[in-house]
Amino acid sequence: MDARNQILERLRKLLGRPDLRFPPPETEPLRPGEHLAITQAQGDRWELAQRFLAELRALHGDGELVETPAEARLAAIARLTAWVEEERAIRHTEPDTSMPGERDVLSWAPQELPVEGLAPALEDLGFRLVVPQDLHRPDERDTLRPIRAGLTGVDAAFASTGSMLLGSGPGRSRVASLTPYRHLALVPLSRLYPNVETWLREQREAGTLEAVLRQGSQTVLVTGPSKSADIEGNLTLGVHGPKLVYAILFDDIHALIQEG
């Protein structure tokens, strides 16, 4: 048996293991308009949130679940403050001194963040939200490069894989989630779906999928920190993007109902 056949035979045996969650062991033929879901997640929004966090932690990310937007605001402030303290400890900064730019945060525009009042609260505590304007300018790129933390919302999140979908556009620069050492994502439960196929189906049925995918200059699917591995399988985090990804999930559904 040549090397190619050996590899294929090994793959057949691995895919035949009964403990694998996917691909499904038996699938019914798809009807017109149906799409096969590779991963599954079930439960109410709280169970989906717990599944999302479990998947994210398995991918070397982390996060927390809180009940209200106000708690999400406090959690975001606490997380960014803790990151500043970690940076100070790494650099052995004296308690009564500060490093230039240590409280800068590469961010989506305040109106694009899904937590009201977060931007002014951070500014009151000495943080500065930096919203990129023109990445074609070398001087602006040089200004953004040292910033160690990024802050964004999400367009959608998927419980079955711990993934987050981020569209870029005016006030939603992709560099906020791609270039800093740490990425903090705010995830309303109204934007949490069991899997990507559920989100795609909803967009198709609403007739908005094409507009959603076309309205931004780029759509990024974030699944944990940036990773790379060598030929021996040694995993390295943070090679092509953030080394730390932290998600704050919060229940905005009651607030939306009250507003309605």
pLDDT (tens digit per residue) in 79-134 = 999 999 998 888 777 666 666 678 999 999 999 999 999 999 999 999 999 998 88
pLDDT (tens digit per residue) in 43-77 = 999 999 999 999 999 999 999 999 999 999 999 99
Domain holding 244: CATH number?
3.40.50.10420
Cβ-count burial of 64 within 10 angstroms (0-12 exposed, 13-18 middle, 19+ buried)?
Answer: middle
- The answer to whether position 167 is within a domain reads yes
Which has the minimum average pLDDT: 97-106, 154-163, 197-206, 238-247? 97-106
**Contact indicator for 227, 239 with CB cutoff of 8 Å:** yes
- The answer to whether position 87 is within a domain reads yes
Structure tokens at 240: 């092509």
In angstroms, the CA 248 to CA 76 distance is: 7
- The answer to whether position 30 is within a domain reads no
Domain that holds residue 108: 44-227+239-259
Query: What's the total number of domains in the chain?
Result: 1
